[in-house]
Structure 1
Amino acid sequence: MKNSIVRTKTGVSYLYPFIVITSLFFLWGFAHSILDVLNKHFQEVLVISKARSALVQAVVYGGYFLMALPAGIFMKRFGYRWGVILGLVLYGIGALMFYPGSFLMSFNFFLFSLFIIGCGLTCLETAANPYVTILGEPETSASRLNLSQSFNGLGWIVGPFVGGLVIFPEDGSAGDIALPYLVIGVVVLVLAILFMKLPLPVISTSVTSSKDNEGKASLWHYPHFVWGVVALFFYVAAQTGINSFFINYVTEEVPDITNRDAALLLSLGGMGLFMTGRIVGSWLMRRMQAAKLLASCALGAIITMVLVMMQLQWISVG
């Protein structure tokens, strides 16, 4: 275990907290991917347009936009542990609100519930990502983060799989939208209680100045950071847009495919490839320059999106 990615040079092991924190990556992957099933469900059950159903993603990512800085300030004041607890509590409350929502059947109420979940996910991501990187030696931080994020990919697979089975029953009736959220709400609230009780390490970080940082007042002075933000903006927009309307696209391009089948295709096919891509990407990053790998992926994405726009049925779906 001397070379373990969760053990320090002094012999301190952070394996247990690493496992607990990694479970959070799965939870927010699940929360994001099940949204893609909700889009189609709300369109049919609440009789709303595709444009209106897109508010599902808009309010969740709106929660990210509005909560990101406050979450960082909160964690700077109270630490990572309480940042995780706050995120889990908000996530749990938002999820449990789907139960009364299933009786009200108000789209606006569902949107408010999802906004609360989005705020909770913001706290979780703001806390968990840096927490994982410091559960061991600095030189193995990237390996720890990649390993944790692979479970995030697993959550992306499970979300539409569970959503497809529960929300789109085989008989074609309207499924129980509250059930998956009730289960996940209870799970995350139990995790919040565990985080209050578990003897997790209290780890603080300090920012020290270096010669490389002298004379530069903010991150915006670094071109790689600026263009990285631009790249991330388009990446998230593309990922969200594609996933959100995947079920719509498949059922319209291949009429024999049901909503349930399309959701399972999104889970095992789309999200399965998404997780595989992360694993392969991590492997390639050790052998290629990051800029070249990013450019190659961007070019591949452009080519495949052109094929999608050509509406070649199964070829475009693939």
Structure 2
Amino acid sequence: MSAIDTGVDRIAVVGCGVIGASWAAHYLARGFDVAATDPAPDAEKRLREVVERAWPVLERIGLADGASKERLRFEPDLASAVKGADFVQENGPERLNVKRDLIARIDAGIRDDVLIASSTSGILISEFQDAALRPERVLLGHPFNPPHLIPLVEVVGGKLTSPEAIDRAMRFYAAVGKKPIHIRREMKGHVANRLQAALWREAFYLVDQGVATVADIDAAIAHGPGLRWALLGPFLNLHLSGGEGGIAHVIDHLGPPMEDWWRDLGDLTFTEAVKAEAVEGVDDELKCRSLPAMIRQRDDVLLALLALKAKADQLP
């Protein structure tokens, strides 16, 4: 995939924290010129370090024609970074006043036809898009961390976003190798983070109740449903569990006990005790492992899985 295929040549990345730097690496690997900006004193150094660390993995995935780390330019001044951009990926801090300021400044410095996609994980687009004179081109382009590896992007419009902007964003993200999904209604946490939050709540609850250790819960997901969820997701996996009757059969026969489980799910808050249990459990789980080696193996297996999924045309 080359930048030419998208109608976009130059991308501005505003905010170079963990998400922004990873986005920059992804866009560079897809053959774009990237102009990045962040007001932090050491932002350029951290950005280039992230790109350097990510590049060997991106080479294994496959670089686009013309892809180069040398096509990254850092601009301390936001107006200089977004000038001439064909697409803007905003990754500022999760604070509403900061988002509103950034969107207003980005909007003032770009052409009328350029989309502004925010990576915000929690703030609704409708809460800050009206800071732009052209709010119809402001939308959510929320990645799953790290963006240079994980394909998912959640695309959501605010109350003022145009359908044409949503369509353009969906086509752009698909063209640069992402798996975009269009979320039809704004909600806190969007979709993927809400699903994660539901699982995390029960995971923390089970540890707090002494039902299982942190290591046991990690194993329960990593060696059980997590393997299937990575291939089909919750609904298709449930459908396959129903045999010839599919998901309708499962609901008819397992619906009542499933509802009983829902009513029995735990609820808790992050007290100091809950936090301490999780920290101690993770420390125990890592005692016999090398964290750098574990991360390398995670990425190796993830790349192999992504390659296999790319060849499986019947998987979603």
Higher helix share: 1
TM-score of the two chains, using structure 2 as the length reference: 0.25
TM-score of the two chains, using structure 1 as the length reference: 0.25
Higher strand share: 2
